[in-house]
Amino acid sequence: MAFEIKEKDLLARIGKLKTKSGTVETPLLFPVINPVFQSISPRRIMDEFGFEALITNAYILQQRFQKQPAQEGLHRFLGFNGTIMTDSGAYQTLVYGDIQTSPEEIIRYQEQIDTDIATILDIPTGWEITEKHAAETVKETLRRAEGLFKHKSRDDILWVGPVQGGRYLDLVVKSAKETGKLPFQIHALGSPTEVMERYRFDVLVDMIMAAKTNLPVDRPLHLFGAGHPFMFALAVSLGCDLFDSAAYALYAREGRYMTENGTYRLNEMDYFPCACPRCTGTAPKRILELPQREIETFLAEHNLHVCGAEMRYVKQAIKDGRLWEHLETRAHSHPALLQAVKKLAKYQDYIEKHDPITKNSGLFFYDSTSLMRPEVLHYHKNLKKRHTPPGGTRILLLVPQTQIKPFHNSKEYRSIAKTLRRRFGSESKSIHVCFYAAPFGVIPVELDEVYPLSQHEAVLPLDNETVEYVANQTLDYINRSNYEGVLLLGSEGWQDTVEGKAKWACRKKGIPFKYLGSDGKLTKTMLARLMKALKKMLSE
């Protein structure tokens, strides 16, 4: 296998991709090199900026330099001894409508120049086209994908099988399924550029997931044209392993300064919010005094530093099991990104299935967006399938979450448990203590230390959506259990919503329900009231 997965978080993978020029680590960003004009030389991209790989255009090489790259070898021609990927000219087809080469010719040319990763000449779907035309691009791309294996003559080059269909998701599914049957080492989602230029990241989520869920999971997925660092976390979280970016240079020509949260116009800036080698010790005013060519070079170098730094940040988040937190942070940089993250609710079952059960760190929950986390869904599924209350329990005692975790180590729980044993003796075993807590809902005391029930922090006060969610989980837990009665110890900020759902569930089941309000302090008076209510419920 050319691809070996080392670490996972959400659908993201840190992996090793073996090419004939060396092994590279994913997620991997390929800076785009224009062979005609290079604002940053390929050698500097590796030596100074730390990129292991780059991508260039085989069609442009063929048209502008003809046999020279083949005679010298692509690595020597570009002055780069890392991994080189070549695109086939498909983007030029999308822009200009036609190009002066054939699928067979571009296959041979990529073999002749000795690229490491090659791409077939597919037909990009584009954005503003009919479904009929989109279907034709899928059909022709599949025909060309099948043709590769009749015409290629080398086995040491990794070939990319593109998935087309654009925003027509049923066509993306069909393309992914059929292309996935062919022995490609890498797949790529085609036609995302126009979607991203329109900031339709919610559509991009659907496109990526339509491809991802229908491709072989052991092959890396490339996202063409994902050039801005503020959306790397989203794409990686959805399982994209490889990216290419020309934006670092294109933005520089337009006087645009990248950050991990968006883009500035250089002529509108007073300060550089960056500590990269290019920005440290200077200011926008001084850069604007330089000749235009030097301004473009400065911006291209800064932009490339930002892209590399963000990819490293994403990788560290995967290692730490904190990719979701990083994704949420980046999503709040633009409403379109946050809208895309909320779209993940549609795919939470698939994400939960592939997300690691345990991680290297605790979890942070900021607001109701965090309810989509796979850890929350995983807990609810397991609670339903695998948990039953201890034998002999009759009464459910619901206690609010405490600041101390695990909750059973809190002063409040110890007081309740001690008083239960003293007042009821062996009969105390018929009382099942559970906590209701954000974002997991009902947490039985015997599961209190299971990851991540005690390894998380939630922002207080909770937003209304989160309180409603916990209340619904409480209702669901009562509905599927066989308790003879439920006693809810309330807490400020929770009581109205949770009490209403719990009371409704008990009424529906025909069992007694008792609510004891509290200001959050478990006084001796409150404990006495609690024991009195439990004694009455046990005797009924």
* The dihedral sign for the CA sequence 200, 201, 203, 207: positive
Residue 529 lies in a domain: yes
Same-domain status, 332 and 427: no
Same-domain status, 228 and 372: no
Same-domain status, 304 and 209: yes
Map 412-435 to HEC letters.
Answer: HHHHHHHHHHHHHHHHHHHEEEEE
Q: Which of 495, 473, 260, 457 is nearest to 367 (CA)?
A: 457
Same-domain status, 234 and 324: yes
One-letter amino acid for residue 490 of the chain:
G
- CB-count burial class (<10 Å; 0-12, 13-18, 19+) for 174: buried
State yes or no: cis peptide before 406, omega within 30 of 0: yes
> Concatenated DSSP letters for 393-412?
--EEEEEE--SSSSGGGSHH
What is the token pair recorded at 16? 């090793």
Calculate mean pLDDT across residues 88-115.
Answer: 84
Same-domain status, 93 and 147: yes
Same-domain status, 224 and 247: yes
Residue 62 lies in a domain: yes
Query: What does DSSP assign to residue 34?
Result: -
How high is the pLDDT of residue 195? 84
How long is the chain? 540
Instruction: State the pairing for strand pair 456-458/363-365.
Output: parallel
List of residues 6+ apart from 247 with CB closer than 8 A: 227, 228, 258, 303
How high is the pLDDT of residue 403? 86
Residue 14 belongs to domain with CATH number:
3.20.20.105
**pLDDT score of 141 more than 80:** yes
How far is Cα 158 from Cα 508, in angstroms, rounded to an integer? Answer: 61
Q: Which of 86, 178, 196, 103 is nearest to 138 (CA)?
A: 178
Encode pLDDT of 369-421 as tens digits. Answer: 999 999 999 999 999 999 999 999 999 999 988 889 999 999 999 999 999 99
- Final residue belonging to a domain, choices 329, 354, 379: 354
Same-domain status, 420 and 343: no
Calculate mean pLDDT across residues 283-294.
Answer: 96
How high is the pLDDT of residue 496? 76
Instruction: Provide the residue range defining the domain that includes 291.
Output: 3-354
User: Whole-prediction pTM value?
Assistant: 0.92
Phi, psi of 152 (to 5 degrees): -70, 150
Residue 429 belongs to domain with CATH number:
3.40.50.10630
E strands present in 279-393:
363-365
Q: Do 303 and 251 meet the contact criterion of CB atoms below 8 Å apart? A: yes
Residue 359 lies in a domain: no
| Rounded (5°) CA angle 334-336-342 | 110
Question: What are the distances in angstroms from CA 498 to CA 372, 447, 475, 507?
Answer: 20, 21, 8, 14
Among residues 9, 47, 87, 202, the one annotated as catalytic is 87
How far is Cα 177 from Cα 181, in angstroms, rounded to an integer? Answer: 7
Residue 326 lies in a domain: yes
Same-domain status, 13 and 109: yes
Among this protein's residues, is 87 annotated catalytic? yes
Residue 361 lies in a domain: no
- Final residue belonging to a domain, choices 354, 377, 403: 354
Same-domain status, 154 and 205: yes
Same-domain status, 198 and 152: yes
Same-domain status, 339 and 393: no
Strand partners, 259: 262
Encode pLDDT of 324-351 as tens digits. Answer: 999 999 999 999 999 999 999 999 999 9
Instruction: State the pairing for strand pair 117-119/158-163.
Output: parallel
Residue 360 lies in a domain: no
Calculate mean pLDDT across residues 25-29.
Answer: 97
Same-domain status, 210 and 177: yes
Residue 45 lies in a domain: yes
Encode pLDDT of 491-532 as tens digits. Answer: 766 767 889 999 999 999 999 999 988 666 788 888 999 999
Integer Rg of the chain from CA: 29
How high is the pLDDT of residue 495? 65
Encode pLDDT of 444-494 as tens digits. Answer: 999 999 999 999 999 888 899 999 999 999 999 999 999 999 999 987 667
| Domains of the chain: total | 2
- Final residue belonging to a domain, choices 319, 354, 389: 354
How high is the pLDDT of residue 1? 62
